[in-house]
């Protein structure tokens, strides 16, 4: 039985290998996979006949790649251009892996594909220069950002042929960056100015094409952003409730005689009562911030927004009356809770508002 299972497994493995072998893959039109497998066998010296299949598969692979390329003549799109460049690079990598086994015909065929790639990279490069020219004429930063996108593709796929690429990337990146000049107005809560400035000064920095400067005087930047803090809203509420408790406790004993005349102790019980008055104190603080925007040019697309955060702290304080032995232990152990200070709560509130505004700006 074990021998039959082993033979069955070997047959299955042979069938799978036959179906996924380089010749079968070639016949199915999967030329890239056929090339990879045939080349692997050839490099391992397992089958010198694979050289013919390597060349046949490579020849067909280039034709197949050309058929799969997106036509950019009617409508040049950078995303489509990068897809084509990726396909060109996939062929290049396979060419370099098997170049020593390829015929002159295939070497020449690959050279034609390489020329096509270089032509496309040149078109992308010229497109980036055109967008930078548009920026220099209009000073519209969206054009510089487009230029940066085009130069990034060139840098990714053919940077060695364009030695000025680092300079172009830096220039277009800086030119496309939108600057937000953020200031804070605390209105009636000046006592928290130091805490707010200490935290919101961390906004200064940059992510992508957004750069933030903090508390710069004058009309610095593309967007003047004012964080207008409403008055801090603090609300203190208190409520009380009383609950009565009773407990049966031992209260000495009496001596009695049983039926045989033997003295026995009989425990006496009594019921004690007490009450707990719970004083629940709740503090709520709330702060609203209006983000006002003044656009200095057409590159400021930031919208006005409103932010609000609140924190609540709550404690229970207990007043005990009557016999303490009737009172559950959780009331006798915990009677000194105090509310968090307003200053500490404000610090937490500033952190929450900072995170909200940071996420919005960046």
Tell me: do 168 and 308 sit in the same domain: no
* Cβ-Cβ contacts under 8 Å for 9 (sequence gap 6 or more): none
In a domain, 279, yes or no: yes
How far is 280 from 306, CA to CA, in rounded Å?
Answer: 32
Tell me: do 241 and 168 sit in the same domain: no
The alpha-carbon radius of gyration of the chain (Å, integer) is 40
In a domain, 45, yes or no: yes
Tell me: do 122 and 258 sit in the same domain: no
Looking at residue 1, its pLDDT comes to 54
**What mean pLDDT is reported for the chain?**
92
148 and 166 in contact (C-beta within 8 Å)? no
Last residue of a domain, one of 175, 207, 239: 175
50 and 41 in contact (C-beta within 8 Å)? yes
Q: Angle at the Cα of 290 (from 288 to 292), degrees rounded to 5?
A: 170
In a domain, 313, yes or no: yes
- Structural domains in the chain (count): 2
Q: Is 212 exposed, middle or buried (0-12, 13-18, 19+ CB in 10 A)?
A: buried
Which structural domain range is residue 155 located in?
22-175
Tell me: do 171 and 260 sit in the same domain: no
pTM: 0.75
Name the nearest CA neighbour of 64 among 26, 98, 24, 23: 26
How far is 262 from 253, CA to CA, in rounded Å?
Answer: 16
Q: How confident is the model over 183-190, as a mean pLDDT?
A: 89
In a domain, 7, yes or no: no
Tell me: do 65 and 127 sit in the same domain: yes
Paired tokens of 225:
């952003």
User: Residues 300-347: pLDDT tens digits?
Assistant: 999 999 999 999 999 999 999 999 999 998 888 876 788 999 999 999
User: Residues 279-297: pLDDT tens digits?
Assistant: 999 999 999 999 999 999 9
Tell me: do 121 and 247 sit in the same domain: no
Tell me: do 131 and 261 sit in the same domain: no
Name the nearest CA neighbour of 276 among 214, 222, 318, 223: 318
In a domain, 290, yes or no: yes
In a domain, 189, yes or no: no
* Cβ-Cβ contacts under 8 Å for 288 (sequence gap 6 or more): 229, 230, 233, 306, 307, 308
CA 130 to chain centre: 33
In a domain, 193, yes or no: no
How far is 182 from 42, CA to CA, in rounded Å?
Answer: 65
Tell me: do 29 and 132 sit in the same domain: yes
In a domain, 243, yes or no: yes
């Amino acid at each position: 039985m074990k021998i039959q299972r082993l033979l069955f497994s070997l047959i299955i493995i042979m069938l799978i290998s036959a179906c996924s072998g380089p010749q079968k893959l070639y016949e199915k039109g999967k030329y890239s996979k056929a090339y990879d497998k045939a080349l692997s066998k050839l490099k391992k010296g397992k089958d010198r006949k694979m050289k013919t299949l390597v060349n046949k598969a490579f020849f067909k692979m280039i034709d197949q790649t050309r058929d799969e390329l997106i036509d950019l003549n009617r409508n040049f799109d950078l995303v489509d251009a990068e897809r084509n460049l990726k396909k060109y690079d996939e062929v290049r990598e396979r060419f370099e892996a098997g170049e020593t086994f390829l015929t002159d015909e295939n070497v020449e065929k690959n050279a034609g594909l390489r020329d096509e790639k270089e032509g496309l990279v040149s078109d992308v490069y010229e497109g980036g220069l055109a967008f930078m020219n548009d920026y220099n004429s209009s000073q519209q930063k969206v054009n510089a950002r487009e230029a940066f996108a085009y130069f990034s593709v060139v840098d990714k796929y053919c940077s060695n042929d364009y030695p000025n690429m680092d300079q172009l990337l830096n220039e277009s990146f800086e030119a496309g960056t939108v600057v937000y000049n953020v200031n804070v107005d605390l209105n009636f809560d000046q006592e928290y100015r130091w805490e707010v400035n200490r935290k919101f000064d961390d906004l200064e920095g940059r992510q992508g094409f957004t750069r933030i400067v903090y508390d710069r005087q004058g009309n610095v930047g593309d967007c003047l952003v004012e964080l207008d803090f409403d008055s801090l809203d603090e609300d203190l509420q208190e409520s009380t409730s009383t609950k009565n408790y009773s407990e049966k406790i031992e209260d000495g004993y009496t001596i009695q005689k049983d039926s045989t005349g033997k003295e026995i102790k009989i425990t006496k019980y009594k019921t004690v009562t007490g009450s707990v008055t719970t004083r629940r104190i709740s503090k709520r603080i709330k702060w609203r911030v209006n983000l006002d925007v003044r656009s200095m040019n057409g590159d400021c697309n930031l919208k006005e927004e409103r932010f609000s955060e609140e924190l609540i702290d709550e404690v229970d304080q207990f007043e005990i009356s009557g016999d303490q032995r009737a009172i559950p232990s959780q009331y006798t152990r915990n009677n000194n809770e105090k509310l968090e200070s307003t200053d500490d709560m404000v610090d937490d509130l500033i952190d929450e508002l900072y995170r909200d505004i940071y996420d919005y700006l960046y």
